[in-house]
Amino acid sequence: MKKNKIINEYIKKTRQRINTYVDNNKPFITYVITILINSLLLRILTMKSFDAVFTIKPLIADLAFILFVGSFVYLIKPNHQKKRFIYLLIVAFLLTLICIINSIYYTFYTSFSSISLIATSKFIVEVGDAVTQNVLQIKDLIYLWGPIVMIMTYYKLKKEGYYKDKKRLNSTKKMMVKTIYVALILAGLFIINLSSLEVGRFMKQWNREYIVKRFGIFTYHLNDAVKSLEPKLVTLFGYDSAKENFDQYFIDNPTIYKSNMYTNIFEGMNIIAIHAESIQTAAMEQVFNGLELTPNLNRLAREGIFFDHFYNQVSVGTSSDTEFTLNTSLMPSSIGTVFVNYFDREYISIPKLLKEKGYYAFSMHGNNGSFWNRNVMHKSLGYNKFYSKESFEIDDIVGLGLSDKSFFRQSINYILDIKEKHSPYYGTMIMLSNHTPFNDLDKYGNFAVDIKETVISPDGTSEVVTYPYMEETKLGNYFKSTHYADAAIGEFIQELDNNNLLENTVIIIYGDHDARLSKSNWNLLYNYDKDSDSVLDESDLNYIDFNSYSYELNRRTPFIIWTKERTFNRKVSSVMGAYDIAPTLGNMFNFKNPYALGKDIFNHLDDNIVVFPNSNWLTNTVYYNSQKGEYLTLTNSIISSDYIDNNIEYTEKLLEVSNNIINYNLLNFSKEK
């Protein structure tokens, strides 16, 4: 009985202390609760998976961080309650801003933002319409409820005379120390429950979604802030270990160039590479009312070599990541973008390797040369000259700038001049018009993305009935934009032919990344119900389950190799990544990059692997999602655990060595440590 009495007394006193603390710290508690809920909301509205939402670890981590940064409010004198509130409100607003930015960013990149991306913020300004029209959504502003509730609570308490009660004027340093103590206990509980796998991924920072899922958004950004300092610190620490891992990787995974049926087939020929903005292979497969959406690309694909399971391995640098990976056979950087953050490194690239064979290398783009730092980075990649916006007359604008048709038309004279002075040459033509937000409908032409059907009435007369289908939808507008881009490519090929520029020339076309449209847009395409002009119900027998895996695998972009001088009529359906282009072309044009991470696809049609920057990977038989720790089987093959484990290990080693090459400038062999 005495023991129970003691326990009850302890519980009573504890309850009183809690009630007293809550009563004396309502503004602080409001701050903690609102921001903690926002961190949970972010995971709910972005990742949406069960283990991302209903797990205690990220909540504990976020709570520890929220308590720690909020604890400094107690350094403000107790009689300055307004200043205390302003401090909490500023902190709350900054943490809310982190949630808003990441919510917007996730919509566009299916990943989370990085402090290192501040350097690229000017590029977001230049594509502001794309963000506001295609990315910013109501859900991204829901997080503002937190600061609003805090303001309402402050004035409500002020009206009730809450701040005039001297009993509530807490001591300063003592309360701060107690709050920090609680935050450290929570952090300790969080840390001791981490697995070695979680710690490893946290240190590497490749898979941002995984880290936010397990560590919370605020811990992720703390780690990101430290990682963002790496470019400044790598010259001081870690070089020897990185160099050792680099050497060992290429001993275990040597870049081997084997002969095959395409070896040296194009040696000495000119190359014109078309960087096709946002064109997806799925767009090439669309037919509306009997008309191909992309007749020119389809013709080139039929006549040339068409890789219909080609995937770009982009990270936050989108188009610039594709340029980098394609030319160097390295992966994008895990921190920031190579074009902006690591432009001063030494790289082995296609332009440099071709220049060793007597080629002249140039690039052209109708946008500002400073966009993605191209005017600097293209020199680092080895291009002799970069023709940017200043080289063209801006006589026709579509989307973000000079129209593709005008860009291609004006480029002909430049190419003629280059041909006269240099032979052979390698040129990269970077398109622009098909960039989101795809809203210049009056410029795209009259291609209809509806459904027209001829209906016979009982009296024998017929009429054409039109169903809206993709009209006035984001995806429909994208299709119209893609049709325009396809027409521009067709006109360019024709002008090259008219000026004898297709002689002894190979045309290479690659989509730089997907259109960045949501899964719901594609769901309408595959599940349109004419009768209701809406999406089919999931219970309908004709319903196609376009799930998250379908969406990821749908991000294929075209890769086409074509020349007027020879018809191949070959489709290659083996999975292929952007880092495989340099080795594949190297075999065809007889140049070799000994430190390529990709492979010549024609020597690996059955066993190739595409590694993505977030540590997902894809083979002909499996798509592995590292965030979920699960995989989708693409064939009827039996998949062993060893197969999965070996590819996971290979992926992590490849990403590590690629980052080390970039961070530590390991390809600068002329500079000894």
Using one digit for the tens of pLDDT, what is the confidence trace for 103-159?
888 876 677 887 766 555 555 545 444 445 555 677 888 999 999 999 998 888 888
| Helix/strand/coil for 286 | coil
The DSSP result for 338-378, as a single string, is: HHHHSTTS----HHHHHHTTT-EEEEEESS-TTGGGHHHHH
Spatial distance between the Cα atoms of 357 and 511, rounded to a whole number of angstroms: 27
> Token pair for residue 526?
């595959």
Q: Which helix (H) or strand (E) holds 645?
A: helix 641-663
Tell me the torsion sign for CA atoms 562, 566, 569, 573.
negative
Angle 510-513-517 from CA coordinates, rounded to 5° = 135
Angle 651-283-474 from CA coordinates, rounded to 5° = 100
CATH topology of domain 256-438+474-611: Alkaline Phosphatase, subunit A (3.40.720)
* Closest among 324, 318, 280 to 110, alpha carbons compared: 318
102-106, 292-296, 585-589: least confidently modelled range: 102-106
Spatial distance between the Cα atoms of 605 and 612, rounded to a whole number of angstroms: 19
Q: Torsions phi, psi of 282, nearest 5?
A: -60, -30
Portion of the chain with pLDDT greater than 70, in percent: 89
* Closest among 257, 259, 275 to 507, alpha carbons compared: 275
Which pLDDT score, from 0 to 100, does residue 169 have? Answer: 54
Which pLDDT score, from 0 to 100, does residue 109 have? Answer: 67
Q: Which helix (H) or strand (E) holds 33?
A: helix 26-45
Which pLDDT score, from 0 to 100, does residue 444 have? Answer: 96
Look up tokens 């007394």; give the residue. 9
Which pLDDT score, from 0 to 100, does residue 584 have? Answer: 98
CA 122 to centroid of chain Cα atoms: 17
Spatial distance between the Cα atoms of 548 and 416, rounded to a whole number of angstroms: 47
- Under the banding of pLDDT at 50, 70 and 90, the label for residue 171 is low
SS3 content of the chain, % helix, strand, coil (to 5): 55, 10, 35
Spatial distance between the Cα atoms of 298 and 321, rounded to a whole number of angstroms: 26
User: In sequence order, what are the residues at sequence separation of 6 or more whose Cβ sits closer than 8 angstroms to the Cβ of residue 566?
Assistant: none
Average of per-residue pLDDT across 197-206:
77
Higher-pLDDT residue of 583 and 8 is 583
Q: What does the pLDDT look like over 334-393, one tens digit per residue?
A: 887 899 889 999 999 999 999 999 999 999 999 999 889 999 999 999 999 999 999 999
Average of per-residue pLDDT across 593-599:
97
Q: What does the pLDDT look like over 467-481, one tens digit per residue?
A: 999 999 999 999 999
Spatial distance between the Cα atoms of 596 and 250, rounded to a whole number of angstroms: 9
264 φ/ψ sector (left φ>0, alpha ψ -120 to 50, else beta): left
Q: Which amino acid is at 343?
A: F
Distances (CA, A) of 388 to 362, 410, 668: 11, 12, 28
Q: What does the pLDDT look like over 410-433, one tens digit per residue?
A: 999 999 999 999 999 999 999 999
Spatial distance between the Cα atoms of 481 and 432, rounded to a whole number of angstroms: 11
- Under the banding of pLDDT at 50, 70 and 90, the label for residue 174 is confident
| Helix/strand/coil for 523 | helix
Is there a cis peptide before residue 558, judged by omega within 30 degrees of 0? no
Averaged pLDDT of the chain = 89
Spatial distance between the Cα atoms of 556 and 576, rounded to a whole number of angstroms: 10
Cβ(402)–Cβ(389) below 8 Å: yes
Q: Torsions phi, psi of 431, nearest 5?
A: -80, 165
Q: Torsions phi, psi of 82, nearest 5?
A: -65, -40
Tell me the torsion sign for CA atoms 527, 531, 534, 536.
negative
pLDDT above 50 (res 54): yes
Which pLDDT score, from 0 to 100, does residue 443 have? Answer: 95
Spatial distance between the Cα atoms of 216 and 63, rounded to a whole number of angstroms: 9
The DSSP result for 577-598, as a single string, is: EGGGHHHHHHHHHT---TT-SS
Which pLDDT score, from 0 to 100, does residue 20 have? Answer: 65
Q: What does the pLDDT look like over 502-549, one tens digit per residue?
A: 999 999 999 999 998 988 889 999 999 998 999 999 999 999 999 989
Average of per-residue pLDDT across 89-106:
91
Spatial distance between the Cα atoms of 509 and 502, rounded to a whole number of angstroms: 14
Which pLDDT score, from 0 to 100, does residue 544 have? Answer: 94
Look up tokens 């709050």; give the residue. 179
Is there a cis peptide before residue 583, judged by omega within 30 degrees of 0? no
CA dihedral 173→177→183→186, nearest 10 degrees, is: -160
> Token pair for residue 349?
């690239």
Which pLDDT score, from 0 to 100, does residue 461 have? Answer: 85
Average of per-residue pLDDT across 223-239:
71
- pTM of the complete model: 0.85
> Token pair for residue 204?
């590497």
* Closest among 662, 673, 596, 100 to 340, alpha carbons compared: 662
pLDDT above 90 (res 17): no
> Token pair for residue 247?
């050497």
Which pLDDT score, from 0 to 100, does residue 127 have? Answer: 46
Which pLDDT score, from 0 to 100, does residue 395 have? Answer: 96
CA 252 to centroid of chain Cα atoms: 30
Q: What are the residue boundaries of the structural domains of the chain, listed by start?
A: 2-228, 256-438+474-611
- Under the banding of pLDDT at 50, 70 and 90, the label for residue 48 is confident
Spatial distance between the Cα atoms of 383 and 418, rounded to a whole number of angstroms: 13
pLDDT above 50 (res 59): yes
Q: Which residues pair with 401 in a beta bridge?
A: 398
Cβ(234)–Cβ(664) below 8 Å: yes
| Helix/strand/coil for 331 | coil
> Token pair for residue 550?
């379908």
Which pLDDT score, from 0 to 100, does residue 129 have? Answer: 47
Portion of the chain with pLDDT greater than 90, in percent: 67
Q: Which amino acid is at 218?
A: F
